[in-house]
Amino acid sequence: MSHLRLALCQLDTVVGELDGNAARIIDSLARVEAEGADIVAFPELAITGYPPEDLLLKPAFVAHNLAALERVAAATSTCAALVGFVDVAGDEDLDDAVAHAAGAGAVAREAAIRGAPRRLRNAVAVCAGGCVVGVYHKRRLPNYGVFDEERWFAPGTAPLQLYEVAGMSVGVSICEDLWFPNGAIPLQAAGGAGLVVNVNASPYSMARQADRLAVARERVAESGCNIAYVNQVGGQDELVFDGGSFVMDANGDLLAEAARFTQATLVVDIPVHAGSRPPTLPVIAVSVGPRDPVARRPPAIPAPLTEEAEVYEALVVGTRDYIRKNGFTDAVIGLSGGVDSSLVAAIAVDALGAAHVHGLSMPSRYSSRGSVTDATTLAEQLGIDLCGVPIEAVHSAFTEVLVGALGTVPTGLTDENLQSRIRGVVLMAVSNARGWIVLTTGNKSELATGYSTLYGDSAGGFAVIKDVPKTLVYRLCRYRNSREGRELIPESVLTKPPSAELRPDQRDDQSLPPYDTLDPLIEALVLNDRSIADVAGSGYDPELVARVASLVDGAEYKRRQSPPGVRITAKAFGKDRRMPITNRYRDPAPETMSTVPGAGTSRDDGAVPGA
């Protein structure tokens, strides 16, 4: 039986680096051609990187993307290449609309501005023998969660076509097209495709790979053809792309799967069944290469990652890529001896190497001896340098100056936030002087409830664990220690009660419910958008649920000013959740409740009160 040799190139592209991405594609193409590949697929929008966002509104950017595609196409010879790019091919409907608007008087400018970006298409070019032989336009445009594709693109409406490669009819589709029944894939299969390649820029969230395999199995069941899924890899602002490219046969069996979170090329031979019925869709013959007559054994399928392992890898990749792609080499972290900063330091060391991570210990009059010792031990275990910068002298100087403004010594929240902000200023001064990026250490439980200080502990360039709930922070620390086989993060860090140490004997649970109660409530209210009554109906204290909901609502203004960080859940605070700050909606409490407590955590900082 003959075969088609398919290569999936799981590349780490960089948004906006048009020439660099084209060079990455051309390099990979040469490599897989040398391995005898008949066809190679690259990720969605591989030329521009994903997501290019409002760069797409710049006509020059789109033109440069087309020029880069032409260079890639010119580099193809015996191996066909599927290359994601931004197409400007209009269709008649759109041309008419724009022409009509342009002739419509005063509104012309308006309509042209509104209509023009939507003429773009999220596209894949089929390139072979030095030119573009066909183009597919994405038909389903995601416009929810972190996605805004209808902001820039019009959906594809052109008739489907197939490409004959090594005796097999091949269909092309893009990402979201896979996720709905009755779409391009079953139509291509019904029209004669033996293989449909689906090119993706699918961001990571927990357990996402299992979803992808499940939906591919559904499409296979619907279509009866082989499906190849290629994904990009690497971090882009808050998103991490996790790869996991795979090939599934017409029985729903996995033929091959690439490693996650790393660049990889998967080369798979797919049997071509002679005597299949002739395609009914139009077919463009692109079969140009000499064939390797000997089919190779498929590569081994990697074992699935545990939840902790995949989240940890996502955090490392997201952190490393944000830092490196923005031109930094080193990071600085305030080490309090607490669990959050300890985890962030461990991630940073795995991302950058210990020599490029720098700790600052900034004890105040309220810091415990144990915390200072824990920070020192952590730095030793990680092999990073640690510089002590006691903030007492600055704290005293501020206190004195503020007496002039306030008529009294600052106390309570004002004094707690003051200490946190002094540390923020020290970190930023070191960042300015050394050129190191500041990594902030707040977790999702804090970000959700506003239990942090604006411009204080939340100040910095990248918020590594902003989407990691506190209970998962602990699990990740234990995972990393267990992987290392020793206490990389000291056990005492994991066992002492969490505290901000901004006043004597402070503990988080004086302001917040215990984290193993809080985290499921945040998931119910934020990720699942459930009402207070609904959550309370699942067995939670209604007053507690209402209080947490109120904290979440009241902290939106702080979240809006937080740095980007890695998304690991299906709904991070960021592009995923677009809540108004000015928002008087208060989900009515269940009738069993006596009062709704007011908002405001013990570390609220007054830029906007919670209620």
Residue 566 near residue 204 (C-beta atoms within 8 A): no
As a whole number of angstroms, the distance between CA 74 and CA 129 comes to: 8
Q: CA–CA distance from 116 to each of 15, 125, 127 (Å)?
A: 22, 22, 27
- Residue with smaller CB distance to a second copy, 246 or 436: 436
Q: Which of 331, 387, 379, 395 is nearest to 361 (CA)?
A: 387
- Residue with smaller CB distance to a second copy, 421 or 470: 421
Q: CA–CA distance from 27 to each of 22, 31, 71, 195 (Å)?
A: 9, 6, 12, 25
Q: Which of 278, 338, 295 is nearest to 508 (CA)?
A: 338
Shortest distance in whole angstroms from residue 163 CB to a second copy: 27
Q: CA–CA distance from 259 to each of 30, 311, 462 (Å)?
A: 21, 15, 26
Length of the chain: 611
- Residue with smaller CB distance to a second copy, 130 or 588: 588
- Residue with smaller CB distance to a second copy, 51 or 450: 51
- Residue with smaller CB distance to a second copy, 5 or 137: 137
Shortest distance in whole angstroms from residue 64 CB to a second copy: 7
| First CA to last CA distance, the chain | 70
Active site residues: 44, 138, 175
As a whole number of angstroms, the distance between CA 567 and CA 466 comes to: 8
As a whole number of angstroms, the distance between CA 517 and CA 496 comes to: 18
Shortest distance in whole angstroms from residue 26 CB to a second copy: 17
| Two tokens, residue 429 | 């001064």
Shortest distance in whole angstroms from residue 106 CB to a second copy: 3
Shortest distance in whole angstroms from residue 587 CB to a second copy: 6
Shortest distance in whole angstroms from residue 38 CB to a second copy: 31
- Residue with smaller CB distance to a second copy, 57 or 88: 57
Handedness of CA 551, 552, 557, 558 (dihedral sign): positive
As a whole number of angstroms, the distance between CA 27 and CA 78 comes to: 15
